[in-house]
Structure 1
Amino acid sequence: MSEAIRYEVNALSTFVERLFENAGADAEVAQVVTRVLLEGELLGHRTHGLNLVSRYIGGMLSGQVKAQAAALEQVSDSGVASLFDGNYVLGPYCVSRALDCAASGASAQGIGIAVVRRAAHIGCLAAYLKPYTDRGLVALVYSSDPSVGLVCAHGGVDPIYTPNPIAAGIPTRGEPILLDVSMSTVTMAMVSQCRDNGSKLAHPVLMSNEGKASDDPADFFTSPQGSILPLGGQGFGHKGFALAILVEALTSGLAGHGRKDCPDQWGASATAVVIDPRFFGGLQAFTDETSFLGQLILASRPVDPERPVRLPGQAGLALRSKALAQGVSLAPTLVADLNQLAAQLQVAALGH
């Protein structure tokens, strides 16, 4: 098997930006989308990192996805609350604009919230957070897709909603705490990965269309379709199910566009909330508390001495630091895919 090759971050960023620009994206959109996808790669979210470049550009070339900043419409803005219509613009650009808008509200009045409807695929939610925690801001992102049903209700069989992730960036005295959690037992990417690898899932996290829990990805890809169990599985799935409904309300509900509209194209509903602790107990008090809690957690006795307790995002941030210092490790298959796209778009290939 060929070994992964490391690429310098700035060179890789320039290469991907050129791919998007040559495919028709505005320079601003290309830069923002590249930054988000590359950040996902740096944090170790490989299924939602540079692996998405071909998918995004394929959507642009087919006309399903837009890549012009002017196509993103700001429908309303009160200074604290904003609504955007993505009009199927590349999702990372839509969410980044929403977060920036929410951050402006937070910096002015303590909290800001911005909602986006009809954004194209938005990638890894954790990839958006660090620029805001670096400024001492708490950033939260919620997401759903009203055009898709993948996860069943607790006690139900039929797929109703998407994994509906919640992500949050929490500043501390050191590295931030970064969490990114789906309201389903597993992600769709994991189910597809196991199917492609010919392997079973680690646990019975699927519901077959006959109403039986299963660890076989084949039981999802059936007709009628199977479903993914809510977070908590059969035993405690009522908790993940309840949180998923909350995400639906905070995204599609606030966006005014959701499942009732029967959209026939992938289009994320996303909500960004940014909070400035300076307007509350103060940033120092906030980071004193989050840092103290973090130290309590890290000092707690592990079940397995070989596997110390970690904070959410700690492993990803360690991968990020290594990649920034030594280069980003890319699988040969991904490099080949990117270079095939480069040839199509008349961009110089990614070297070794």
Structure 2
Amino acid sequence: MSQTSRIDVQSLTAFVELLFKAAGADAEVARVVTRVLLEGELLGHRTHGLNLVSRYIGGIQAGQVKARAGLLEQLAHNGISSLFDGHYLLGPYCVSRALDCAAQGASAQGIGIAVVRRAAHIGCLAAYLQPFTERGLVAMLYSSDPSVALVCAHGGIEPVYTPNPIAAGIPTRGEPILLDVSMSTVTLGLVGQCRDSGQRLAHPVLMSNDGQLSDNPDDFFTTPSGSILPLGGQAFGHKGFALALLVEALTSGLAGHGRKDAPDQWGASATAVVIDPRFFGGLDAFTDETSFLGQLLLASRPRDPERPVRLPGQTGLNLRKQALSEGLSLSPQLIDDLNQLAGQLQCPTLSH
């Protein structure tokens, strides 16, 4: 098999849920984690989609990642703000619970915020947002990992912090605006992909361990390692660096668990903020404004007529719509990996 295959999304959902349950996840965790990973795949975030299934299940089997909903501990809650400790439970479940909690606060009093510490890998941030925009809520996510250093400070050489993405879902009269932006020039996933394919990066977005700008992914994977530049690169990286510090404060800072604690296991700090426009200028006024702005931007004259202006998330939502209608396109390698995992777990394989 040399070409991608389109798989019915409902069948794929049932298949992945079964894999997680066979690996020891309870039904609720399996359902939520599957939904988030599949949503990432539907939106085109392939590095944070179904390819993470094997990684997550491998973590469960190794005892490093937990998969029981009852392990998520709520340490504080006052109706608006909450703090959770994930105890290395599968991250998509932790973040989904935090968002639900924040949304309850927003629906009751206009805004809610929930912070999670020590969640296992949380996947694609954009994948969490649409259920909340469909309810007329603005949903925002911030994430860092205090156990990992990949990005250098502006003007520095050594890696100090993580790419620290910010994501937001903004409701409109039509499709939502979905943004998901790292505070680094590129992600580690892209650097790894370029190395594996023998390609250079499109721009010099890396700092070698001797302080040289580089577009060669090999300059990152050295001893000591190189680093990724902050968002904005060498010229404007002070902006991405400042925003990354804000994310660190809003995640690990509010969580009370961060780099000062020297964690030795991957464990994300994540913060969910949900706002209900009904408590401010009103939902109609809000969506009137966001829709007007969206149309204004889409109608603006493009520099390249063949590449019109598009809104954040627009391409992913189009991919999602096509996949729901025609089936999700999966590579032969991914199908083989999932079926190999199914065989190990004594589950039926994925038919295609």
Band the TM-score falls in, shorter-chain normalisation:
over 0.9
Residue 337 (structure 1) aligned with residue 337 (structure 2): yes
Per-residue deviation, 1:3: 0.6
Residue 119 (structure 1) aligned with residue 154 (structure 2): no
Per-residue deviation, 1:204: 0.1
Where structure 2 has 5 or more consecutive residues not aligned to the other structure, the ranges are none
CA distance in 1, matches of 2:99, 2:344: 33
Equivalences for residues 1-352 of structure 1 within 5 A: 2-352=2-352
Where 1:50 maps in the other structure, the secondary structure is coil
Per-residue deviation, 1:241: 0.1
Partner deviation per Cα, 1:154-187 (whole Å, 9 max, x = no partner): 0000100000000000000000000000000000
CA distance in 2, matches of 1:136, 1:234: 39
Per-residue deviation, 1:53: 0.1
Partner deviation per Cα, 1:111-151 (whole Å, 9 max, x = no partner): 00000000000000000000000000000000000000000
CA distance in 2, matches of 1:203, 1:281: 43
CA distance in 2, matches of 1:307, 1:321: 21
CA distance in 2, matches of 1:72, 1:55: 20
CA distance in 2, matches of 1:5, 1:230: 37
CA distance in 2, matches of 1:102, 1:347: 36
Structure 1 runs of 4+ with >6 Å offset: none
Letter in 2 for 1:327: G
Letter in 1 for 2:222: T
Per-residue deviation, 1:93: 0.2
Partner deviation per Cα, 1:32-87 (whole Å, 9 max, x = no partner): 00000000000000000000000000000000000000011001101000000000
Where structure 1 has 5 or more consecutive residues not aligned to the other structure, the ranges are none
TM, length-normalised to structure 1: 1.00
Letter in 2 for 1:239: K
CA distance in 2, matches of 1:91, 1:102: 16
> What is the number of equivalent residue pairs in this alignment?
352
CA distance in 2, matches of 1:196, 1:59: 23
Letter in 2 for 1:238: H
CA distance in 2, matches of 1:194, 1:258: 30
TM, length-normalised to structure 2: 1.00
